Amino acid sequence: MLVVDDSVVIRRLVTNILDEDPDIQVVGTAPNGRIALSKIPQVAPDLVTLDIEMPVLDGLETLRELRALYPRLPVIMFSTLTERAASATLEALSLGANDYVTKPANVGSVQAGMESIRSQMVPKIKALCASLLPRPALPASRPVSTFMPVPADRARVPFATPEVLAIGASTGGPDALAEVISRLPADFPLPVVVVQHMPPVFTRLFAQRLDTKSALTVTEAQTGDVLRPGSVLIAPGDHHMVLRRTGDVVRVALNQDTPENWCRPAVDPLFRSVGEAYGGRALALVLTGMGQDGLRGCDRLRAAGAQVIVQDEATSVVWGMPGAVAGAGLAHRILPLREIPPAILSVVSTRSRQVVLR
């Protein structure tokens, strides 16, 4: 991989961290985008980490040129947790960056800073370059999954009309969410609740950007928000978002309970609370993302009678989260991204429906 950052300290830090992993090799570094673009044909990296703010050619301009020349080369942006950098990072994701890592702020030691970068960057590199890594040997006897596919004689089941759309996403999620939300009409009859794995500041700016692209009203959720048709609530960074019902009213509650699946916000707490508030009258959607967040929440929703749609592997940046749900037999439909909005509309526009598992 190629590490691009104007700080020699950061370049050395990232290089030292990545060189510790036997599956990752840093083949070059560059102090700005212009030098990075000249090095790519020389060192042929499988992935590039790209700083946002650099002299000569900054991260966004570098990304524009890089995408024109190397449309499939994975790129991870390296960003600070500032409003300016967060806005630039979201722009980079819209320009084709695959993911991002935040630089540690106010850490107590160099070691803590290294661990912060290591815990974020290494899993993302491996997820984006999974096809290049050696596959572990399968055990002689594989344990039986606790999430078993539905038997063939139960492939057709009736569903109640959903009253809420709950969405979970991670790596690649901002673009996928923009594709889905922007194609829902202004008279969409359901409230929409979303967990996108993002830190504070990022979620607020992401909600604002998504609001400009959608006929629906998109905001970052706050405790006490009432779920209303046509509203989209994004879980704020560093907070789990759950739903609480009182009579006919469902409200948002935020908390900073222990991270789940190494995430806060996490999809599983939201999906569990959707099941508690709505039972089977829910539609769950799991979009592109690394890891398995949402798997157990989908199991709860599926058991309650809710419908589950997941994004397919071909259109996912990383088929971790949707792949886990599909592999567990919990998805009623596995669809390319472009087919998900019409599938949602077909579900919510029908009083009851026979859904065929695929």
Positive/negative CA dihedral, 136, 140, 145, 151: positive
pLDDT in the model for residue 295: 98
pLDDT value, residue 201: 93
* Catalytic residue (one of 225, 293, 299, 312): 293
How much of the chain exceeds pLDDT 70, in percent? 89
Q: 195-221 burial, b for 16+ CB within 10 Å, e for fewer?
A: bbbbbebbbbbbbebbbeebebebebb
Write down the catalytic residue from 5, 51, 87, 197.
197
**pLDDT classification of 340: cutoffs 50, 70, 90:** very high
DSSP secondary structure string for all residues of 44-57: --S-EEEESS-SSS
Active site residue 170: yes
Taking only the tens place, the pLDDT of each residue in 242-253 is 999 999 999 999
Residues 334 and 303 sit within 8 Å (Cβ to Cβ) = no
Joined together, the tokens standing for residue 106 give 């106010």
Give the residue, 157 or 314, on which the prediction is more confident: 314
Q: Percent of the chain at pLDDT above 90? A: 80
Q: Which residue has the higher pLDDT, 186 or 148?
A: 186
Query: What's the helix, strand, coil split of the chain in %, to 5?
Result: 35, 20, 40
pLDDT band at 134 (very low <50, low <70, confident <90, very high): low
Average pLDDT over residues 181-206: 96
Residue 335 pLDDT greater than 90, yes or no: yes
Peptide bond into 265 cis (omega under 30): yes
Q: What is the pLDDT of residue 90?
A: 96
Q: Which member of 79, 170, 214, 231 is catalytic?
A: 170
Distance CA 314, CA 352 (A): 30
- Look over the chain and give the mean of its residue pLDDT values, rounded to a whole number: 89
Per-residue pLDDT band for 133 (boundaries 50, 70, 90) equals low
Our answer to whether residue 131 is catalytic in this structure is no
For this structure, is 346 an active site residue? no
Residue 217 has pLDDT above 90, yes or no: yes
Q: Do 305 and 159 meet the contact criterion of CB atoms below 8 Å apart?
A: yes
pLDDT for 119 beyond 50: yes
Answer yes or no: are the C-beta atoms of 180 and 287 closer than 8 Å: yes
DSSP string, 213-281: H-SSEEEE--TTPBP-TTEEEEPPTT-EEEEEEETTEEEEEEE-PPPBTTBSS-HHHHHHHHHHHHTTS
Q: Which residue type is seen at 154?
A: R
Q: How far apart are the first and last CA of the chain?
A: 38
Compute the C-alpha angle 297/303/304, nearest 5°: 95
Give the pLDDT score at 232. 98
User: pTM of the predicted model, to two decimals?
Assistant: 0.89
Q: Which domains does the chain have, with CATH numbers?
A: 2-130 (3.40.50.2300), 152-356 (3.40.50.180)
Give the model's confidence band at 114: pLDDT under 50 very low, under 70 low, under 90 confident, else very high.
confident
Q: Are 353 and 325 in contact (CB under 8 A)?
A: no
Q: Return the H-helix or E-strand segment holding 156.
A: strand 156-159
Residue 197's pLDDT is: 97
Contact 98, 66 (CB under 8 A): no
pLDDT at 149 over 60: no
Best CA proximity match to 14, nearest among 2, 23, 58, 32: 2
Q: What is the mean pLDDT of residues 266-278?
A: 98
Position 281 pLDDT exceeds 60: yes
pLDDT score of 358? 36
Question: Stretch 62-82: mean pLDDT, rounded?
Answer: 94
Span 62-89, mean pLDDT?
93
